[in-house]
Structure 1
């Protein structure tokens, strides 16, 4: 077998493979004889069909099978012989039978060979944040609000009050689907409605009617309403203000605390959870910033097959998340056409590029996972559970779960390696702003 290779692009190679005809004929004759032993043809006993009859009846199909099998086998032999680091399956082209050889071309994508640019030119913003007493007080109040009750008020509706009302919407004087409701409950300031809607209700009282003017956003999901001016007739039926529960024995019991432990212990536990959340948020922020800078500074070409695999992974991840949220029946409503490749392509390309670059950084720096950091990561994660020891044992003894944590820690080590040489600017942010950034990143 003879093989020549040429570069089609930075991530593709074309192999020209020539297989001696003698190899093809040898396998063809052997398969022909095997077929003659089992084939059934009228007029002949099984196993006694003459070879020339089998050749006449089945020769063409057997020969094609042999050619297909030889191409399948030799293309991988050629890839190995040429020491090609292939990704994905080769694409076979231009199969020809010549006098002395079976000749074909195969195009195969290869793993990118990259040189990572110096980290000294990378600019990375590293944020820091601290929890203060006011942040803890706000979180305690949020816990109270989650368990709050509502009491009627005769006064005007204000932000954070709950209003029960009927509404009837029109566009150009015509009602539209979904524009009418009765006994609709809304906490003002929650941002559930289109811009201007909640503001129009502020100041209204029970029994009051009012028509408010709003405009649907240009990117509104219902295309027939996007960007349209609308009028809503509002009839307020009830205005309620929030009544927070007292921080008493009953409230403390919800969080596993006794009355003796009291508010101070609740604040200490809340602060501990908030500090863990801040650590994780800051770690994710600087990791994202470092990796974004790494990708931006290293423009590389990646194989389409790797991108396609990542698109499929992200698509399956989205379906899995939808299943967890709405159940298998809800996920069954998904059709592949609802999640086209274009929806994931940009992020998939970025993810593949990042994976290639991180692998190169790991190889160049000869980084190996720091098991002490893995243990510390597990301990920190387990501390939020009722029985940390049980959680630690689970993650330490389950190889798959531990491998996932090792991958996260190894990424953290790559980030530390980058930051050691990059231009890092430290920026302090409030706990509230950090939370908003995290929510925006997830959204």
Structure 2
């Protein structure tokens, strides 16, 4: 076997692999004998089929399979041994490759095109300026977050007088026009209605009513929705659509959701027992939590801006674009050349950033340790719990969730990539002139709307 490399330019090369009979003959012969042992051909006992017949039937396929293995292993080994930093995957050469005939040829040559990552340098210094947006937490944000907590940790209470948002339980009876119960009419015991789902005029009939009162109302006017009516009356939607009668509703129970008071009980539920004891301390902790939740937004914006600054430094670096487009099309059956042309600039920028990130991680000696991965997994778990308002999850529970996520290989690989990127961006902050700017959350979001 002989492997020849022919560089087209600094970023494109062709690898030629020449395979002689001595490279594959023994392996093909071995496979033919294995086929012979297993072949089940009418007229022959198992293992007694003539080798010549096996060769005639399967020889070409076995030859192609064995040569393909040799070519694949040889190409990958060559890339590894020569430390070639390739982009994408090798593709069969389309210009100089000679036809292959497995029926007649004994010597074969296969040509492959490879794209090489370009050589480049990234030098960052204090002349490079990048803004870091520090999102301001104001009193309104704190008030809204506390309002969310008081609502989340409230409770249902039985009350005596109806207000707009109360739940009502009682008996529904269909009425005649003279307001007497309709014979064989609809009667629903333990019917449950939400006052705030009614239209304004019908809702006013119930507001300020008391337990035991009987209210006459019209369901069609109250809900104007056959789905709601059919559910309430336990009838079909078609029947609900035709229902015109008034009904009496005798209030048996009134339930109201009462928000939590802003007291020690709420402090403990939100932050953990005894963490704060005054409203001022509680507000400060809530503000701190909001601030912490915005850090990821600020970091995301910094990452975008840092990438933009760094990628500008690569504007003169040449990439094997023709090969990359060909490779992308070969691995995406549903992608058209026209669509690729539109999407390719973004793909190329993503590739450039990937190469930059790897180069800077080596330059800055960024290493990912086991403790880094565990800490990152716990951070993700903490953020997931926080989305549901659970801010004081015990450390052992976070640890369990983190360890479960670390059992997934793809999840760990993704975490490692994210950790490397974070470490690289932290080093970038140290290398450039970081200009911190305070900004409202509204103005921060506008920067994304403008783009």
What band does the TM-score fall into relative to the shorter chain? 0.5 to 0.7
**What is the Cα deviation at residue 45 of structure 1?**
5.1
**What is the Cα deviation at residue 290 of structure 1?**
1.3
**What is the Cα deviation at residue 145 of structure 1?**
9.6
Whole-angstrom distance in 2 between the partners of 1:379 and 1:27: 51
Whole-angstrom distance in 1 between the partners of 2:71 and 2:447: 51
Is 1:268 matched with 2:284?
Answer: yes
Alignment map for 1:223-238 (pairs within 5 Å): none
* Alpha-carbon contact 1:125-1:425 (below 8 Å) kept: yes
* Alpha-carbon contact 2:27-2:66 (below 8 Å) kept: no
Q: Structure 1's 255 and 305: CA in aligned 2 closer, same or farther, altered over 3 A?
A: farther
What is aligned with 2:130? 124
Q: Secondary structure at the match of 1:96?
A: coil
Q: Structure 1's 378 and 131: CA in aligned 2 closer, same or farther, altered over 3 A?
A: farther
What is aligned with 2:74? 77
What is aligned with 1:278? 294
**Count of residue pairs the alignment pairs up:** 327
**What is the Cα deviation at residue 278 of structure 1?**
2.7
Whole-angstrom distance in 2 between the partners of 1:370 and 1:50: 60
Q: Secondary structure at the match of 1:353?
A: helix
Deviations 1:150-175 (A, max 9, x none): 979xxxxxxxxx9x89xxxxxxxxxx
Whole-angstrom distance in 2 between the partners of 1:403 and 1:39: 44
Is 1:350 matched with 2:386?
Answer: no
Q: Structure 1's 368 and 22: CA in aligned 2 closer, same or farther, altered over 3 A?
A: closer
What is the TM-score with the length of structure 2 in the denominator?
A: 0.55
Alignment map for 1:135-154 (pairs within 5 Å): 135-137=141-143, 139-140=145-146
What is aligned with 1:105? 111
Deviations 1:93-138 (A, max 9, x none): 534368762222223445x243232113644222224434454345
* Alpha-carbon contact 2:24-2:67 (below 8 Å) kept: yes
What RMSD, in angstroms, separates the aligned Cα atoms of the two structures?
A: 5.1
**What is the Cα deviation at residue 430 of structure 1?**
2.2
What is aligned with 1:411? 421
Larger fraction in strand: 1
**What is the Cα deviation at residue 389 of structure 1?**
1.5
Whole-angstrom distance in 1 between the partners of 2:419 and 2:53: 67
Whole-angstrom distance in 2 between the partners of 1:131 and 1:307: 48
**What is the Cα deviation at residue 37 of structure 1?**
5.0
Tell me which structure has the larger Cα radius of gyration: 2
Whole-angstrom distance in 2 between the partners of 1:253 and 1:77: 67
Whole-angstrom distance in 1 between the partners of 2:21 and 2:15: 18
* Alpha-carbon contact 1:281-1:438 (below 8 Å) kept: no
Deviations 1:295-324 (A, max 9, x none): 332245377499959x98xxxxxxxxxxxx
**What is the Cα deviation at residue 66 of structure 1?**
0.8
What is the TM-score with the length of structure 1 in the denominator?
A: 0.56
Whole-angstrom distance in 2 between the partners of 1:54 and 1:307: 38
What is aligned with 2:19? 19
416, 429, 438: which one aligns with 1:428: 438
Q: Secondary structure at the match of 2:100?
A: strand
Deviations 1:164-215 (A, max 9, x none): 89xxxxxxxxxxxxxxxx979xxxxxxxxxxxxxxxxxxxxxxxxxxxxxxx
Whole-angstrom distance in 1 between the partners of 2:428 and 2:73: 38
What is aligned with 1:65? 62
**What is the Cα deviation at residue 286 of structure 1?**
1.6
Q: Structure 1's 416 and 28: CA in aligned 2 closer, same or farther, altered over 3 A?
A: closer
Whole-angstrom distance in 1 between the partners of 2:430 and 2:373: 21
Q: Structure 1's 307 and 138: CA in aligned 2 closer, same or farther, altered over 3 A?
A: farther
Is 1:256 matched with 2:262?
Answer: no
* Alpha-carbon contact 2:150-2:262 (below 8 Å) kept: no
What is aligned with 1:2? 2
Gaps of 5+ in 1: 153-161, 166-181, 185-244, 313-334
**What is the Cα deviation at residue 407 of structure 1?**
4.2
Q: Secondary structure at the match of 1:119?
A: coil
Whole-angstrom distance in 2 between the partners of 1:304 and 1:105: 17
* Alpha-carbon contact 1:2-1:18 (below 8 Å) kept: yes
